[in-house]
């Protein structure tokens, strides 16, 4: 009986450590009505940007035990807003993204669409066309969201220590790598593998 209890307890613990983490990512309704974006985007264009961003997020967390949706309820969530201001400064300081997290309690972040749109416009080659611009914006938004999700999933991990410009952890979005080409994890990957470990396959 004791052994059965121990096994049952172990199974419970085992189950809880591999429970899927749910995370939300969405574009705020207000963004669709915004007249103030650096470049004006139609509803359809914003949807395309969001779809590209979702693809970036799925790619970054592929193989990990986390499920993304556009639900606003999960404890871990990042939304796309029109604009973000750094409230620590008296002057109007626009920032690309930010987040807040409490260890073990979840957290929330935001990505500025207007910041990403104007930065992407600077990195897309001239004459590349509207679709290339939208995809660059979506890539930038998605990678910024990935960075903020890393912060809120791993509030204690020193992810800004990365000096790899091609990594999600790198601490500035003002870089060509944010908007095009491949991106990879650096030092956060081992923490994520632990935090979002897939459930072990059942023992035969
Ligand atoms: Zn950061």
The pTM score is 0.87
Cα radius of gyration (the chain): 19
Distance from Cα 97 to the centre of ligand 1, integer Å: 8
Question: Quick check: 117 and 37 in contact, CB under 8 A?
Answer: yes
What is the pLDDT, as a whole number, of residue 184? 98
**Closest to 158 measured CA to CA, from 86, 150, 67, 10:** 150
Distance from Cα 147 to the centre of ligand 1, integer Å: 6
Distance from Cα 98 to the centre of ligand 1, integer Å: 7
Distance from Cα 144 to the centre of ligand 1, integer Å: 9
Residue 15 has pLDDT above 70, yes or no: no
Give pLDDT tens digits for 88-106: 777 778 899 999 998 878 9
Give pLDDT tens digits for 172-204: 999 999 999 999 999 999 999 999 998 877 677
Residue ranges of alpha helices (H) inside the chain are: 2-17, 29-32, 43-60, 113-123, 130-153, 188-195
């Amino acid at each position: 009986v004791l052994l059965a209890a121990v096994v049952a307890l172990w199974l419970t613990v085992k189950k809880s450590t591999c429970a899927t983490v749910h995370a939300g990512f969405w574009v705020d309704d207000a963004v669709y009505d915004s007249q103030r974006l650096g470049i004006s985007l139609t509803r359809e264009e914003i949807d395309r940007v969001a779809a590209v961003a979702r693809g970036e997020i799925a790619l970054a967390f592929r193989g990990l035990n986390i499920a993304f949706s556009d639900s606003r309820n999960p404890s871990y969530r990042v939304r796309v807003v029109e604009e973000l201001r750094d409230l620590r400064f008296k002057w109007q300081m626009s920032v690309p993204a930010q987040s807040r997290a409490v260890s073990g309690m979840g957290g929330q972040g935001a990505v500025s669409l207007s910041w990403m749109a104007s930065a992407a416009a600077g990195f897309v080659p001239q004459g590349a066309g509207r679709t290339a611009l939208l995809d660059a914006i979506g890539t930038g938004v998605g990678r910024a969201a990935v960075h903020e999700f890393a912060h809120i999933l791993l509030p204690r991990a020193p992810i800004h220590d990365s000096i790899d410009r091609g990594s999600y952890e790198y601490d500035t979005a003002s870089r060509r790598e944010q908007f095009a080409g491949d991106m990879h994890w650096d030092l956060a990957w081992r923490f994520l593998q632990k935090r979002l470990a897939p459930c072990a396959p059942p023992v035969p």
